[in-house]
Amino acid sequence: MLQKSKRNKKILVALYLAIPLIIYVFSVFVPLVTALFNSFYDWKGGPQKTFNGIQNYIQLFQDKTFWQSFGHNIFLVLFCLVGQVGIAFIFVLMIDSKLVKLKGVHRTFGFFPSTISAVCVGFIWTMIYDYNRGILNWFLNKIGQGDATKVWLNEPGLVMLLVSIPLVWQYIGYYMVILLSGISAIDKEIFESAEIDGANAVQRALYIVFPLIKNTLLICITLCIAGNMKAFDNIYVMTSGGPGTSSMVMALYGYTVSFKQNNMGYGCCISVAIFVLSLLVIGGSQKLFNVLLKDKGVD
């Protein structure tokens, strides 16, 4: 009787687990395999496809816009690693300090921007950068720097930086919450004894907090890289990848090729490339992170 009940329970658990698994398979695995399959075809959308071997991949290697977009994604990753995870780490140390009051308020307000949709964030920052009515140019005019005002989102050299700032602003709170949970797991006695031994705040952060939350930090870095390798929405809203292709990122380029140029085969090829390149960047960064920490004697 007991055994039967256990077996039933197992079936029930398997049934529950099957639901997310089916969703995952249909929404992630199947499209990925389909995209890989279609990437070997000359397919302009519609029932007719012509197998063209690795022609799309050859085109991809020669496609300047794609590699420019990849470069923009790497810029985004580096900028956001410092901006999102780095600043979040500093904020966490500040909030965790004994000197800071109203910690709950800081946590809530810090986290608030990450609850807003990326499209809204894009619109908010488009308004901030607006040439005639934006707060940035208004401020520059107020402080007598009227000559420095610009049509910000029309500056090819600056536009990647400008579309990255909203992403940093939005996600600091997100990583702050993850890192806070990591820090709260550290035994407070370690800090106390370090303080008694005369370690200052920077030393405590570098030699105690940093190594002890290594795994949490690694999660944050992985999430940050994965998130920024597939960045799309706020850039789509703010610049559509422009001016020209100055703020084009891989996902946006894939979308443009697939839906504006109706070149589905090549669009699939770009999607596969995004997947592979993201895996390489994430894997590479994890290896690098482990090597760097090993040098510091952290396992």
Partner 1 sequence: MKKKVVSSLLCAAMLVTMVAGCGGSGSTDTNTTPAGGDTQSAAAGTEAGGSDAASGLAYKGDLEIMHFSTEEESQGNGGSDGMRTVLQQWNDANADINLIQTVYANDDYKTQIATLAAADDLPDVFLVQGMNVREWAKQGLITDLTDEIKNSPYSADYNESYFTPFKDADGKIYGFPVLTGGTCTVVIYDSKAWADAGYDKFPSTWEDVEAAVPKLQEAGYKEAIAFGNSGQWQMNSCFLSTLGDRFTGPDWYQSMINKGGAKFTDAEFVAALAETQRLFKDTEIFNKDFNAISNEDAREYYISGDAAAFIGGNWDESYIQATLKEGNEELFNNTKFAVLPQPKDAKYDENGQNIGLGYAVAINPKLKDDPDKFAAAVDLAEYITGPVFSDYVAKNYGLGGLTKVADPDLSSLDQMTQDFYNWSYVDTTPCEIYDSYLASAVWAVVNQDLQDMVNGDKSPEDVAADAQKAYEENY
Structure tokens belonging to residue 2: 């007991």
Measured from the CB atom, the residue of 58 and 151 that comes closer to partner 1 is: 151
Residue 143 and residue 173 in contact, taking contact as beta carbons nearer than 8 Å: no
Q: Least separation, in Å, of the C-beta of 48 and partner 1?
A: 5
Q: Considering only residues 126-165, where is the footprint of partner 1 by CB under 8 A?
A: 129-132, 151-154, 156
- 248 in Cβ contact with 69 (< 8 Å): yes
Phi-psi region of 149 (alpha: psi -120 to 50; beta: other; left: phi over 0): beta
Q: Break the chain down into helix, strand, coil percent, rounded to 5.
A: 75, 0, 20
- Among residues 32, 36, 44, 111, the one that binds partner 1 under rule CB under 8 A: 44
Give the integer Cα–Cα distance in Å for 94 and 26.
43
196 forms part of the interface with partner 1 (CB under 8 A):
no
Pairwise CA distance, residues 142 & 125, whole Å? 19
Q: Is 172 in the site for partner 1 (CB under 8 A)?
A: no
- Confirm or reject binding of residue 83 to partner 1 (CB under 8 A): no
| Alpha carbon distance 76, 246 (integer Å) | 13
Work out whether 294 is an interface residue with partner 1 (CB under 8 A). Answer: no
**CB of residue 255 vs partner 1: minimum separation in angstroms?**
9
Binding mask 223-252 for partner 1 (x = CB under 8 A): ----------------xxxxxxxx------
Burial of 241 from C-beta contacts in 10 A (0-12 / 13-18 / 19+): buried
Instruction: Give the residues across from 51 on adjacent strands.
Output: 41
C-alpha separations of 216 from 103, 187, 278 in Å: 21, 16, 20
Shortest Å, Cβ 168 to partner 1: 21
Does 42 help bind partner 1 (rule: CB under 8 A)? no
Residue 71 touching partner 1 (CB under 8 A): no
Task: Based on the shown chain and the rule CB under 8 A, indicate whether residue 112 belongs to the binding site for partner 1.
Answer: no
Question: Smallest distance from the beta carbon of 10 to partner 1, in angstroms?
Answer: 13
271 binds partner 1 (CB under 8 A): no
Closer to partner 1 by Cβ: residue 170 or 256: 256
Q: For 114-154, give the secondary structure using H, E and C.
A: HHCCHHHHHHHHHHHHCCCCCHHHHHHHHCCCHHHCCCHHH
Quote the least distance from Cβ 253 to partner 1, whole Å: 10
Task: Kindly state the tokens that stand for 48.
Answer: 């007719």
Decide if residue 170 touches partner 1 (CB under 8 A): no
Site residues for partner 1 per CB under 8 A? 12, 15-16, 19, 22-23, 26, 43-48, 129-132, 151-154, 156, 239-246, 256-264
